[in-house]
Amino acid sequence: MPYAARLNNVETSAIRELFKLLGKPGIISFAGGFPDAALFDVQGMREAVNKALDEEPGPALQYGASEGYDPLRMQLAQFMAATGIEVKHDGLIVTTGSQQALDLIGKTMIDPGDKVIVEGPTFLATIQCFRLYGADLVSAPVDADGVRVDELERLIEEHKPKLVYLIPTFGNPSGATLSLARRKRVLELAVKHNVLVVEDNPYGDLYFGKAPPPSLLALSSEVPGSRDLIAYCGSLSKVLSPGLRVGWMVAQPELMARCVMCKQFNDAATSTLAQATAAQYLKAGRMPQALDKVRKVYAERADAMGQALRRELGDAVEFTAPQGGLFIWARLTGAGGKIADAGEFAKRAIEQGVAFVPGAPFFAKDADKSTFRLSFATVGIDRILDGVARLGKAL
């Protein structure tokens, strides 16, 4: 069959390989990119969906507006207000997970051949999503303080990108958080070079100790002209339930209108049952308590994994302990003559019964093959200790 040429832009084997790793039974998996289902507030969800069906059965089961269900938009606006973002309910649109926001941004913004700057490493599905629209991705280096803004400016000047895509807070896979000073600099660069910055923020609420710096969107009030250059993507997936597929986007009205137009032809609307449920859940006021719980559990697991890595793998790996999110991003140093190729390390780890994701596929260009990503989110502490011990053996 004569498939569309855009499919040639996407390398799927890397992804297939990742999923194959997960198939082996009994394996301890640090490979996932998802929250722990055991932490879901099932009772809260049950109450929310029943309330939705009792109070608003029509809207909850009927088609909804492509821009989102207003009661949810109001709740999301309030939810964001708690993180310093001022937005009215019609200043955001609901998307089918934040993945759809990325797709809509790709569809509305990217012409084949357009340059797009992403972090190196960045979210795998963003790489593929943008490439399907023909984006030519440019990779900006990241350190423990997030994307390097000096390099970012150089790349913006060199490539004149259509947009810059960042996960500034507890990045996937980097775990890095962009410093306050760098955030301000990113906003200044957006204005100076008149370039759209997509801020993907699914993990911002999952902090372990003190809250991270305000989002780019929240800080945009301090940098004149920057607010209209931010497209902010939020999600309930990591803090409440990925199964709802409820994300949202805040951007300037013209861009949002075009995204809504495209959404009409993507899926017409996000599940109104899911939207009404999410609205009822947020309205019930259970979110702060639910967040406290997942923050505490993930913090303990992150700490256990970090300590075990230092103990079991020593100077053969280096990483920065994450302050939030789901991931530890690590690099094999080769110290003591140990292997430095994470793909090879992953194969040996599987033999020892533990899975993780090698870092190479997360780079749009110039992959650092010594890197790998470990998720601490879905595994209890005993199994984290067991798994990291096996990693030690594998190394």
- Span 139-168, contacts to a second copy by CB under 8 A: 162
Phi-psi region of 105 (alpha: psi -120 to 50; beta: other; left: phi over 0): alpha
241 binds a second copy (CB under 8 A): yes
**Sign, Cα dihedral of 175, 179, 182, 187:** positive
42 binds a second copy (CB under 8 A): yes
Beta strands 230-235 and 196-200 are parallel
Contact 332, 338 (CB under 8 A): yes
Alpha-carbon Rg for the chain in angstroms = 21
Stretch that binds a second copy, among 146-154, 253-261, 316-324, 352-360 (CB under 8 A): 253-261
- Nearest CA to 115 out of 134, 100, 97 is that of 134
Among positions 265, 288, 336, 337, the unique one binding a second copy when judged by CB under 8 A? 265
261 binds a second copy (CB under 8 A): yes
Hey, what are 330's tokens?
């690590």
Hey, what are 65's tokens?
């507006």
The CA distance from 327 to 375, in Å, is 5
284 binds a second copy (CB under 8 A): no
Lay out the site mask for a second copy across 2-31 (x = CB under 8 A, - = otherwise): xxxxxx--x-x--x----------------
Minimum separation from the CB atom of position 232 to a second copy (A) = 15
Among positions 29, 96, 139, 174, the unique one binding a second copy when judged by CB under 8 A? 96
In the window 331-370, what residues touch a second copy (CB under 8 A)? none
The CA distance from 351 to 337, in Å, is 20
102 binds a second copy (CB under 8 A): yes
Among positions 255, 282, 332, 388, the unique one binding a second copy when judged by CB under 8 A? 255
Lay out the site mask for a second copy across 45-64 (x = CB under 8 A, - = otherwise): xx--xx--x---xxxxxxxx
99 binds a second copy (CB under 8 A): yes
220 binds a second copy (CB under 8 A): no
Beta partners for residue 324, in sequence order: 207
Size of the site for a second copy (CB under 8 A): 73
Using the minimum distance from each CB to a second copy, give the nearer residue, 136 or 312: 136
Contact 371, 330 (CB under 8 A): yes
Lay out the site mask for a second copy across 64-83 (x = CB under 8 A, - = otherwise): x-------------------
Length of the chain as a residue count: 395
Encoded amino acid at 31, one letter: A
> Maximum distance among all alpha carbons in the chain?
65
Lay out the site mask for a second copy across 103-122 (x = CB under 8 A, - = otherwise): x---xxxxx--x--------
